[in-house]
Amino acid sequence: MLFRFLILIGICAVTGAASAQTVGLDLAKANNCMSCHRVDRKVVGPGFMAIAERFAGNGEAAEYLAHSIRDGSRRKWGPVPMPRQSHVSPEDAITIAEWILSLHESDAQVE
Ligand code: HEC
Protein backbone atom coordinates (compact mmCIF):
# COMPACT_ATOMS: atom_id res chain seq x y z
CA MET A 1 0.00 0.00 0.00
CA LEU A 2 2.66 2.47 1.08
CA PHE A 3 4.71 1.41 -1.90
CA ARG A 4 1.88 2.18 -4.31
CA PHE A 5 1.38 5.53 -2.66
CA LEU A 6 5.05 6.39 -3.13
CA ILE A 7 4.91 5.44 -6.79
CA LEU A 8 1.90 7.72 -7.23
CA ILE A 9 3.76 10.62 -5.62
CA GLY A 10 6.74 9.90 -7.87
CA ILE A 11 4.58 10.05 -10.98
CA CYS A 12 3.00 13.33 -9.87
CA ALA A 13 6.43 14.85 -9.20
CA VAL A 14 7.70 13.87 -12.65
CA THR A 15 4.69 15.13 -14.58
CA GLY A 16 4.63 18.32 -12.46
CA ALA A 17 8.23 19.09 -13.37
CA ALA A 18 7.57 18.34 -17.02
CA SER A 19 4.66 20.76 -17.19
CA ALA A 20 6.69 23.57 -15.55
CA GLN A 21 9.26 23.03 -18.32
CA THR A 22 6.63 23.16 -21.01
CA VAL A 23 4.97 26.28 -19.63
CA GLY A 24 8.28 28.18 -19.61
CA LEU A 25 9.22 27.11 -23.11
CA ASP A 26 5.71 27.75 -24.44
CA LEU A 27 5.73 31.26 -22.99
CA ALA A 28 9.14 31.94 -24.52
CA LYS A 29 7.86 30.77 -27.90
CA ALA A 30 4.59 32.68 -27.60
CA ASN A 31 6.44 35.88 -26.71
CA ASN A 32 8.81 35.65 -29.64
CA CYS A 33 11.91 35.10 -27.49
CA MET A 34 13.00 32.19 -29.64
CA SER A 35 13.57 34.46 -32.63
CA CYS A 36 16.74 35.63 -30.85
CA HIS A 37 17.36 32.91 -28.26
CA ARG A 38 17.86 29.16 -28.14
CA VAL A 39 17.99 27.05 -25.05
CA ASP A 40 21.37 25.47 -25.69
CA ARG A 41 23.34 27.98 -27.76
CA LYS A 42 23.87 31.61 -28.58
CA VAL A 43 22.03 33.04 -31.59
CA VAL A 44 21.42 36.80 -31.42
CA GLY A 45 21.10 36.61 -27.64
CA PRO A 46 22.85 34.25 -25.23
CA GLY A 47 21.62 30.67 -24.83
CA PHE A 48 19.18 30.29 -21.96
CA MET A 49 21.37 27.60 -20.40
CA ALA A 50 24.33 30.00 -20.36
CA ILE A 51 22.15 32.57 -18.60
CA ALA A 52 21.09 29.92 -16.07
CA GLU A 53 24.73 29.09 -15.45
CA ARG A 54 25.77 32.70 -14.89
CA PHE A 55 23.02 33.25 -12.33
CA ALA A 56 23.15 29.86 -10.60
CA GLY A 57 22.87 30.18 -6.84
CA ASN A 58 21.77 33.83 -6.98
CA GLY A 59 18.57 34.02 -4.95
CA GLU A 60 17.49 37.30 -6.53
CA ALA A 61 18.10 36.20 -10.10
CA ALA A 62 14.47 35.48 -11.06
CA GLU A 63 13.36 38.97 -10.17
CA TYR A 64 16.41 40.55 -11.76
CA LEU A 65 16.00 38.60 -15.02
CA ALA A 66 12.26 39.31 -15.16
CA HIS A 67 13.24 42.97 -15.00
CA SER A 68 15.82 42.53 -17.80
CA ILE A 69 13.21 40.78 -19.94
CA ARG A 70 10.64 43.57 -19.67
CA ASP A 71 13.08 46.49 -19.76
CA GLY A 72 15.67 45.06 -22.13
CA SER A 73 19.36 44.53 -21.50
CA ARG A 74 22.62 45.90 -22.88
CA ARG A 75 26.36 45.31 -22.58
CA LYS A 76 26.03 42.31 -20.28
CA TRP A 77 26.62 39.61 -22.85
CA GLY A 78 28.03 41.37 -25.88
CA PRO A 79 27.63 44.37 -28.14
CA VAL A 80 24.05 43.61 -29.28
CA PRO A 81 21.39 45.01 -26.95
CA MET A 82 18.10 43.27 -26.22
CA PRO A 83 15.12 45.52 -26.89
CA ARG A 84 12.59 45.83 -24.09
CA GLN A 85 9.92 43.13 -24.17
CA SER A 86 7.15 45.12 -22.55
CA HIS A 87 4.45 42.96 -24.16
CA VAL A 88 5.37 40.31 -21.58
CA SER A 89 3.31 40.65 -18.39
CA PRO A 90 5.25 40.88 -15.10
CA GLU A 91 3.85 37.46 -14.08
CA ASP A 92 4.88 35.83 -17.34
CA ALA A 93 8.31 37.46 -17.10
CA ILE A 94 8.82 35.84 -13.68
CA THR A 95 7.61 32.46 -14.97
CA ILE A 96 9.99 32.64 -17.93
CA ALA A 97 12.86 33.80 -15.71
CA GLU A 98 12.29 30.90 -13.31
CA TRP A 99 12.17 28.49 -16.22
CA ILE A 100 15.45 29.86 -17.62
CA LEU A 101 17.09 29.48 -14.20
CA SER A 102 15.78 25.91 -13.93
CA LEU A 103 17.80 25.00 -17.02
CA HIS A 104 21.00 24.96 -15.01
CA GLU A 105 22.32 21.41 -14.80
CA SER A 106 18.97 19.91 -15.61
CA ASP A 107 18.00 17.53 -18.32
CA ALA A 108 15.74 20.23 -19.67
CA GLN A 109 14.05 19.77 -22.95
CA VAL A 110 15.74 21.59 -25.78
CA GLU A 111 13.57 23.24 -28.42
C1 HEC B 1 15.75 41.07 -30.89
C2 HEC B 1 16.39 39.92 -30.25
C3 HEC B 1 15.90 39.48 -28.88
C4 HEC B 1 14.63 39.15 -28.48
C5 HEC B 1 13.33 39.20 -29.30
C6 HEC B 1 14.74 38.70 -27.11
N7 HEC B 1 16.04 38.76 -26.69
FE8 HEC B 1 16.73 38.31 -24.83
N9 HEC B 1 18.57 39.00 -25.30
C10 HEC B 1 18.94 39.43 -26.57
C11 HEC B 1 20.32 39.92 -26.53
C12 HEC B 1 21.13 40.45 -27.71
C13 HEC B 1 20.75 39.77 -25.18
C14 HEC B 1 22.08 40.18 -24.56
C15 HEC B 1 21.97 41.64 -24.09
C16 HEC B 1 23.15 42.11 -23.29
O17 HEC B 1 24.29 41.91 -23.70
O18 HEC B 1 22.91 42.69 -22.19
C19 HEC B 1 19.62 39.18 -24.44
C20 HEC B 1 19.65 38.89 -23.08
C21 HEC B 1 18.63 38.23 -22.41
C22 HEC B 1 18.67 37.85 -21.02
C23 HEC B 1 19.82 38.10 -20.03
C24 HEC B 1 19.63 39.47 -19.41
C25 HEC B 1 20.63 39.82 -18.32
O26 HEC B 1 20.34 40.75 -17.57
O27 HEC B 1 21.70 39.18 -18.21
C28 HEC B 1 17.47 37.21 -20.77
C29 HEC B 1 17.03 36.61 -19.43
C30 HEC B 1 16.70 37.24 -21.98
N31 HEC B 1 17.42 37.87 -22.96
C32 HEC B 1 15.44 36.70 -22.10
C33 HEC B 1 14.59 36.97 -23.18
C34 HEC B 1 13.19 36.62 -23.20
C35 HEC B 1 12.46 35.87 -22.10
C36 HEC B 1 12.67 37.08 -24.39
C37 HEC B 1 11.23 37.02 -24.87
C38 HEC B 1 10.25 37.71 -24.06
C39 HEC B 1 13.77 37.68 -25.11
N40 HEC B 1 14.91 37.60 -24.34
C41 HEC B 1 13.66 38.25 -26.36
C42 HEC B 1 18.16 39.44 -27.72
C43 HEC B 1 16.79 39.24 -27.73
pLDDT in tens, 35-76: 999 999 999 999 999 999 999 999 999 999 999 999 999 999
Q: Check: CB of residue 104 under 8 Å from CB of residue 52.
A: yes
pTM for the model stands at 0.85
pLDDT greater than 70 at residue 10: no
| Band (21; pLDDT cuts 50, 70, 90) | confident
Minimal-distance CA residue to ligand 1 atom 3: 36
Letter for the amino acid at 42? K
Helix/strand/coil for 73: strand
Distance 63 CA to ligand 1 centre (A): 15
Q: Is the Cβ atom of 75 under 6 angstroms away from ligand 1?
A: yes
Minimum CA distance residue for ligand 1 atom 13: 45
Give residue 22's pLDDT band: very low, low, confident or very high (50, 70, 90).
confident
Q: How far is CA 75 from CA 10, 32, 83, 96, in A?
A: 43, 21, 12, 21
Instruction: Locate the ligand 1 atom nearest the alpha carbon of residue 33 and give its number.
Output: 37
Residue 29, C-beta contacts closer than 8 angstroms, at least 6 positions apart: none
For the cut 80, the answer to whether the pLDDT of residue 19 exceeds it is: no
pLDDT at 1: 67
What is residue 3's predicted lDDT score, i.e. its pLDDT? 67
Backbone angles phi, psi at 59, to 5 degrees: -65, -20
Task: Report all structural domains of the chain as residue ranges with CATH numbers, in order of start.
Answer: 2-102 (1.10.760.10)
DSSP 105: T
